[in-house]
Structure 1
Amino acid sequence: MTAPTTAPGTSDAPDPTDRPHAPPAVLRAAAPALLGYAAVRALGLVALALWSAAVGKSPHTLLTARWDSLWYTRVAEHGYGWSVTLPDGSVHSNLAFFPLLPWLERAVAGVTPLSCADAGLVVSWCASLAAAWGLFAVGDRLYGPRAGVCLAVLWGALPVGIVASMAYSEALFTALAAWGLYAVVRRHWVSAGLLAAAAGLTRPVGAAVVAAVWVAAALWIARERRVTWRLVLGVLLAPAGAAAYVLWVGLRTGGGLFGYLDVQRQWGNGFDGGAAFARFVADKFTSPLGALAGIGLAAGVVLVVRLYGAGVRQRQPVPVLVYTGIVTALALCASGYFGSKPRLLLPAFGLLLPLAAGLARWRTGRAATALGALALVSAVYGAFWLNGSGPP
């Protein structure tokens, strides 16, 4: 296994291994990753269209006007302040949804003929390409261009990869996180801080990007025993987005620092260390059919843990491990709706780095065949999933 080409932290100057490239050259280097990722997602959309036509549903509606996409669209159209009261008395408020995606939806709708819902789809598709590019950049930086291409295509071929083609915030968040981590490993502190701030305005798990910036900065200070203004500015900028929104929600609800947590609690979301998820899996073993589902869930958790362990053995940069660990822990150990967990793991792209590095060592034809098979499975599963329970 090839070791990372650099560890964040030996100088605050631009990394000496960096070489300036003209934009066309940069785009040419990333082109195989972008084309491969686009092909995977196009296959997924074709499968969705065919499946939806067979069952009499609209693929456009599935992509833009169901589940969380409806909440984002309403925020874009009408702002915050709308809620739904359930029969049990709990209140689902749109304050649970971070603002960057709705802001972009409103901006795109304001300068085009598109509705906010369709603008959300455009934003998500563009962000997913930016995410694929960012994943290529990270993989290339750590293990070479072939690994970068494999990482981008693997991410697109995940079973729940269809979410990146929906008017959801996962693609936007992953793009910001990937480029933020790329800036971290290159020691571009101000860029890393700005990207972390934007990620913090996109999803609560933006805290993982903030932590990556802070850990990288702490490691750099420990090695260099000095502090620079770029580093300080990046560290201060990183939490600004999430902090601003959480504090605003607290002021709006009167809940102070814990106002946003109160909003999430009304949605049934919280962090219990995985106790609720463990009970959910255990309950599956009350019937023979359920036991199969329970075994599948347990195997999935074991696979995630093993992939993270492989990343540790692979000696991934510490900030990458920190980011991946936090995203994974929040996904698996939250007490919210369990059907959302695969979607919440989508930004944990560091789990795919060991697989990408391994595929990069295969011959091109063999690797392409494996990725093509995964893409086909992903396309079929995504079409089945969205026409069924979907990603709430």
Structure 2
Amino acid sequence: MYLRVELQNPPIAENDDNAILEQVQRASFRYFWDGAHPQSGLARDRSGRSVDPKNDLVTIGGSGFGFMALLVAIERGWIARCDAKARIEKMLSALEAAKSHNGVFPHFINGADGSTVPFTKLDDGGDLVETSLLFQGLICVRQYFALPDEAMIRDRINRLWHNVQWNSHIKNNEKVLYWHHSPKFGWARNVPIRGWNEALIAYILAAASPDFGIESDVYHEGFAANGAFRNGRDYYGVRLPLGPDHGGPLFFAHYSFCGLDPRGLEDRYADYWEQNCNHARINYLHSLHNPHGHLGYGRDCWGLTSSHGPKGYAVSSPGLDCGLIAPTAALSSLPYLPEESMRALRHFMALPRGKVTGRFGFVDAFSPSSNWFARTHLAINQGPIIAMIENHRSGLLWKLFMSAPEIQASLRKLGFTSPWLTGKTEPNSP
């Protein structure tokens, strides 16, 4: 099935936000449907604006976003439920056959044979954060397919989920999770997962594991460092509760929160809705003030995060601003800054169509200063566009993930409060 969906210039239904958002989501969805690896159905790490890559590289975290995208597609009527189930079963078969390490998947696998593709020389084993992004999506799928005749999908996901030995990524009884472990090089990569960053979801899932879970002190001493990840300073007049100066790249506010609902989510360290809204606003205000004088920045053109750049992959943020705008940064911030995100979306759609868009919607990034436009789409940037726009429109993925009993138990265990834990209906955005 091939979905012919293109971004229009000028946009159709110019005054209809929902029609525009649907168009953008549907175009990005094609990355995970038409652009998926042909044998495994999993998400390619990246893809060309007009052609598929000539390799079998599949991304585990990006595939987690791909599972979420399929659920949105069913709900929006872009594909039939039976077609989505067939694709999901194909993807699950690939994961079941793939090489994992104590149940933890590597960053990349070969989509044809499931073998590990090393991310770097020392990173040839389990990647706990990529695995977390995968299971964030798989838990949503499990919760979605709740009919009696869909038990096989639920059972297959549960087997994968129960097989992950989250506590195997604790080194020498330290009170912190480690990002990588290699069967050949052991802990040589040596990256503890400490916040504030994109990896809150790893601790939520590790504490949720029914068989290989972590205790709460690993979260408090490891990720939160007993509060040392607090910030509390003002940037452009906005207080930032957690994290590095100016908030860091915007994927911090997106990756963990495609499933984890930040509305009303609090613990002893922060209100996570406030954290993400303020982080996004600081990112927006940085482009508005434009202290480095980058061409094109302003109220309609903003969004700094990790993306492809003229010199390769770049981690862009207000603290490390190389003049690179990534559409995913503003679009995935729609729940936090709806007016500012919609202005950016309309601006992006008005840019030269042959440069800013490709077969799967917006290209990964562009640099107004150098008139450079990426020739690629990237899975981990395409996925949050679909997921976070959908959470703004319907809350679908937040509802699914937060309905999982293990997730609710994990949040209680780690000391979080959330409207989802009170038995009430879903929270409204503050």
Structure in which a larger fraction of residues adopt strand: 2
Structure in which a larger fraction of residues adopt helix: 1
When the two structures are superposed, what TM-score results if normalisation uses the length of structure 1? 0.31
Of structures 1 and 2, the one scoring higher in RCO (CA 8 A, sep 6+) is: 1
